[in-house]
A and B are shown apart, each in its own frame.
Chain A
Amino acid sequence: MASKNPPEINASSMADIAFLLLVFFLVTTTMDTDLGLMRKLPPPLPPQVEKPPPIKDRNVFVVLANANDQLLVEGELMDVKDLKEAAKEFIENPMNNETLPEKKPVQVDFFGEVMVSKQVISLQNDNGTSYDLYIQVQNELAAAYNELRNELAMDKFGVSYDKLVDDKQKAKVKAIRSIFPQRISEAEPKDVGGN
């Protein structure tokens, strides 16, 4: 017959075991969330493809980066920190300037007929360009689009574009995106300018 009071199991080592497990998980896991610039690559070109119709020069914003990490924007040397403002002015073309992109009327929900510019940003880098500069350029261009979208969203809906995205207001986000579509085209790389 079993005794009436079974001997108590000593639980004092339980804490040690738990600590051991805890330390194991602390060491083998990471907590950092992954952040990054999301981009979509163009699908590979079919071998026999007809040339796309040429885009007018005034509609293209050319950004070149060379192996010395210098930027040539629309034929002029530029610092990365000025790129955002230049891109914003190009995309928006507020004064309907002759040298900046053309606009065509488009029907957009919430807004009615809007003049949307036919802008395209063309980015070309050298094989020797540093990844850091590449990311800075991508970042500044994305910032230009985001700022324009934010300004528009504030004007129209009274909230920022980021907030619309967070709140999953898909129709409004889509409307704003169709007014300022992000068109960044990356040319095939060139190997010029040394190492």
Chain B
Amino acid sequence: MKGAHKFSKKGGKGNPTISTASLPDIVFMLLFFFMVTTVMREVDLKVVIVQPEATEVEKLDKKGLVDYIYIGSPSESDKFGTSSRIQLNDQFARVQDVGPFIEAKRAERDEAEVPLLTTSLKVDRETKMGIVTEVKQELRKVQALKLSYSTRERLN
């Protein structure tokens, strides 16, 4: 049979087989590359967020010291309506939950790191400022004053 002949080692024409022994090594190399360069996805988003664009952006480094607050309209709008909602961790929250959320995040961390904590606001561009301002007032109350308005970079 012609097909079987193609794979047999003792093929008459003597096509040398390519060794695949190094394939696992290559794949492991790729694996480690991705493990090192990426971070775990923080949460499953329940709100739709299209970030606004800005030019004067700064990089938010030290991801371990950042807490995220998401504000946008729910992605399952037939279930949750279309008005803007706040998402903390994996669930919807009310404005008054923001303070306890920040306190809880602080309690998880080392005391020395608390002044370095930054809150990143990921807000949909269509959101009205009312809810954003309320969240900001809550943050002020719990002294979480370092803030980053998450944006995409606009390329000129």
Which chain A residue shows the least CB distance to B35?
A25
Which chain A residue shows the least CB distance to B146?
A40
In the complex, number of A-B residue pairs with CB atoms less than 8 Å apart: 149
Min CB–CB distance B2 → chain A (angstroms)? 25
Interface size class of A (residues with CB under 8 A): 35 or more
B140 & A131 in contact (Cβ 8 Å cutoff): no
- For B152, what are the chain A residues with a Cβ–Cβ distance below 8 Å? 35
A14 within 8 A of B: yes
- For A154, what are the chain B residues with a Cβ–Cβ distance below 8 Å? none
| B interface, over-half SS | mixed
> Which of B56, B125, B132, B148 sits near A142, CB closer than 8 Å?
B56
A39 & B148 in contact (Cβ 8 Å cutoff): yes
Distance, CA A30 to CA B45, complexed state (A): 13
Q: Which of B118, B126, B133 gathers the greatest number of chain A CB atoms within 10 Å? A: B133
B150 within 8 A of A: yes
B94 within 8 A of A: no
Q: Which of A15-23, A55-63, A169-177 contacts B (4 or more CB under 8 A)?
A: A15-23
A19 & B27 in contact (Cβ 8 Å cutoff): yes
A34 & B150 in contact (Cβ 8 Å cutoff): yes
Proximity string of chain A (143-183) to chain B, C-beta cutoff 8 Å, 1 when within and 0 when not = 10010000000000000000000000000000000000000
A38-B147, A40-B147, A131-B123 given; A28·B58 CB < 8 A: no
| Closest A-B pairs by Cβ, 8 of them | A127-B130, A29-B38, A36-B148, A18-B27, A132-B125, A14-B24, A34-B60, A139-B54
Interface, chain B (partner A; CB < 8 A): 20-21, 23-24, 27-28, 30-31, 34-35, 37-41, 52, 54-60, 63, 66, 118, 120, 123-130, 132-133, 136, 139-141, 143-153
Given contacts A34-B150, A44-B141, A125-B133, 7 further A-B contacts (CB under 8 A): A29-B35, A33-B59, A34-B59, A40-B146, A131-B129, A189-B130, A189-B133
Interface, chain A (partner B; CB < 8 A): 11-12, 14-15, 17-19, 21-22, 25-26, 28-31, 33-44, 125-132, 134-136, 138-139, 142-143, 146, 189, 191
